[in-house]
Amino acid sequence: MVIHRRLLDRTSHNKRAYLYQMKRFFNTTGLCNAEDHYMVDPFRNMYENILHLIHSKQYFLIHAPRQTGKTTFLHALAHRLNKEGNYVSVVCSLESAGYNSITVETANEVFIQSLYLTSKFFLSPDALPPEPDGYLPGNLLLRNYLTDWCDTLDKPLVLLLDEVDALYDDVLISTLRQLRDGFQTRPNHFPQSIALVGLRDIRDFRMRARADNPSIGSGSPFNIKAKSFFLPAFSKEEVRGLLIQHTQDTGQVFSEEVLEKLYDYSGGQPWLTNALANEVVCEILKNDYSLEITLDMIELAKERLIEQRQTHLDSLADKIDDPRVRPIIMSIITGDSPAFDGADDAIRYCRDLGIISTGNPIQFANPIYREIVTRILTIGFSIGINQDIAQTSWYLNTDGSLNMDKLLDAFTKFYRRNAESWIDRYQYKEAGHQLMLMAFLQRVINGGGRIEREMAAGNGRTDLVVFWKEQVLTIEIKMHHDKWSEPEGIEQLARYLDRLGQKTGYMVFLEKKSALELSWEDRIRREVHIVNNKEIIIYAM
């Protein structure tokens, strides 16, 4: 018996020692908790504002793009409210009813079963909702169930409903209307405060319902909403705080220049921030905390994430063909200002999804999203480029440097032969010229260099910077709109070269008119301009 006790004590000691040695890590999957993960404060200075709404018996919305910390925020909020003791609070996801063939009756049953099961993780037994099995079949309505539950509580209920905008059609409308119907009886017979949480704001909820459904009406089915909160990306200081937690735990330092690069590539997007740091620490350095984290490692981590196209990044592909997303992406790539009906709504929609940044100019939210979207859009062109003309070695000088003039000469011939037939059958026609050049360059440069892109709606151009060994080669893509396009492009490129500290740059000047309107002999030319001691080499085609 003594031996067994000693073995047990030793096992427990070893387990405690093992757990003590376990380090926190950068989480890229699911809910974050402070015991296991490095974390930014989930409330992001919003707790007092939200608590004021709860005290005021208000209903509100919280929306943010995927994997930005919404669920972590909700769980932290519910646990804090329960701990403070003034309210009973629970989080419930409605995603399990998020398919368009479900009936309203079935959806109500799914909601209630989910709410009952989830409540056990947040509440003590005396605060749990009623057993759903006690209701007659077909008699389960979310509104009635919430009323019955509130009648048994000695504290007001705060209900946090996640993934609300995953619901479709009549289920979405019915759910919102039931919540609105119970609003008048709060807080004694209905939740004092309800938060609806999802990707989008309430203005988009009606768009999720069928456009031909006359019962929806023109008004909002949830016009009792007091306020909407948008969870922003991490600030640079929040990213710094996240990385410092790793340093405090392990002694491994993210230098200031490494932080700057990581923040630049992620744009503060929470999943990307954690994914980049995790890729460096766990995958590249294999959790060897004695090794130094360098800029090259951040660059490698970025490329790996782009190549791996994990679920978070792959979801961008699903959005590219959305009718509200496509015109915004085209405007960013071409540099034109959005000029179509519903532009404001489309911009808001893309910002809610996290595809573009919240400020101006309109641009991709971060360089990784920009690269993912561009590579997806150029893949059709890329696979059509014959390997014979994409051999990197053909465009190298004897010293191994890249011969950009030879490369652009080859593209000019390729473009003349293929542009009209290829772009005509391409869905993103307006951006086809730019994407065709990017695809060609990508095929060649992938042999040993990389391309960084700078693009924004309204700037009138797309800028590419090719990094090849020690070379930094700048290319501006400019469309011929009018007589000012070329001189404006030359001035823009000269300013861009100033910013980069470069003396020479290339401008690819693309004609919108077809060869039927303007012959290729009139379109194709190569010129050199000197502007403010900068050499501007123009390839017009």
Mean pLDDT confidence for 279-298? 97
Instruction: Identify the domain boundary among 230, 262, 290.
Output: 230
95-142 pLDDT, tens digit per residue, is: 999 998 999 999 999 999 999 999 999 999 999 999 998 887 767 899
Q: Residue 270: is the preceding peptide bond cis (ω within 30°)?
A: no
Q: Which residue is associated with the tokens 């003034």?
A: 86
SS3 category, 27: coil
**Residue 11 pLDDT > 90:** no
Say if residue 271 is in the same domain as residue 194: no
**What is the model's pLDDT at position 20?**
40
> Do 373 and 503 sit in the same domain of this protein?
yes
Domain boundary among 207, 230, 253: 230
- Domain count within the chain: 3
pLDDT at 217 over 70: no
pLDDT classification of 384: cutoffs 50, 70, 90: confident
Query: Are 272 and 378 in the same domain?
Result: no
User: Does residue 9 have a pLDDT over 60?
Assistant: no
Query: Which segment of 3-17, 298-312, 518-532 scores lowest on mean pLDDT?
Result: 3-17
The pLDDT, as a whole number, for residue 23 is 82
- Give the gyration radius of the chain's Cα atoms: 28
Percent share of the chain, pLDDT over 70: 90
* AA letter at 308: Q
pLDDT at residue 339 is higher than 80:
no
Containing structural domain, residue 239: 21-28+234-308
The whole-number average pLDDT for the span 77-92 is: 97
Cα–Cα distance for residue pair 375/435, rounded to 1 Å: 9
Q: What is the pTM of this model?
A: 0.86
Domain edge (last residue) among 199, 230, 261? 230
Q: What is d(CA 499, CA 436) in angstroms, rounded to the nearest whole number?
A: 26
- For residue 243, what are its two tokens? 């990385």
Query: Based on the domain organization, do 175 and 262 belong to the same domain?
Result: no
Q: How far apart are CA 227 and CA 105, in angstroms?
A: 30
Alpha helices per DSSP H over 204-342: 205-208, 236-250, 256-266, 270-278, 295-308, 311-320, 326-334
Q: Are residues 262 and 391 in the same domain?
A: no
One domain for residues 413 and 389: yes
Classify residue 7: in a domain, yes or no: no
- Do residue 239 and residue 212 come from a single domain? no
Identify whether the C-beta of residue 313 lies closer than 8 Å to the C-beta of residue 305: yes
If pLDDT is split at 50, 70 and 90, which confidence band does 18 have?
A: very low
Which residues have a Cβ under 8 Å from the Cβ of 426 and sit 6 or more positions away?
Answer: 380, 381, 432, 435
CATH number of the domain to which 163 belongs: 3.40.50.300
204, 353 Cβ separation under 8 angstroms? no
pLDDT of 16 strictly over 50: no
Residue 177 shares a structural domain with residue 138? yes
Residue 348 lies in a domain: no
**52 lies in the same domain as 137:** yes
Asked if residue 169 lies in contact with residue 134, where contact means CB atoms within 8 angstroms, the answer is no
Q: CA-CA distance, 429 to 422, in Å (whole number)?
A: 9
* Domain annotation covers residue 517: yes
For residue 425, what pLDDT band results from cuts at 50, 70 and 90? confident
- Name the pLDDT band for 204 (thresholds 50, 70, 90): low
Task: Name the most confidently modeled range: 73-82, 129-138, 387-396.
Answer: 73-82
Confirm whether 448 is domain-assigned.
yes
Q: Are residues 165 and 268 in the same domain?
A: no
Same domain membership, residue 482 and residue 359: yes
pLDDT of residue 169: 86
Of 255-269, 346-360, 513-527, highest mean pLDDT: 255-269
Residue 193, helix vs strand vs coil: strand
Instruction: From residue 135, give the alpha-carbon distance in Å to each of 140, 143, 181, 190.
Output: 7, 13, 21, 18
| pLDDT-derived band at 222, boundaries 50, 70, 90 | low
Alpha-carbon gap, residue 493 to 507, rounded angstroms? 7
Beta bridge pairs of residue 475: 464, 506
Going across the sheet that includes 59-63, the strands are 88-93, 157-162, 193-198, 59-63, 225-230
In-domain check, residue 506? yes
Give tens-digit pLDDT for 129-185.
999 988 877 678 999 999 999 999 999 999 999 999 899 989 999 999 999 999 999
Entry field: residues in the chain = 541
Quote the pLDDT of residue 94: 95
Q: Is residue 34 part of a domain?
A: no
Q: Is the model's pLDDT at 2 over the cut of 70?
A: no
pLDDT in tens, 456-499: 998 889 999 999 999 999 999 999 989 999 999 999 999 999 99
536 within some domain: yes
143 found inside a domain: yes
Same domain flag for 298 and 387: no
Share the mean pLDDT of the chain.
89
Q: How confident is the model at residue 318 (pLDDT cuts 50, 70, 90)?
A: confident
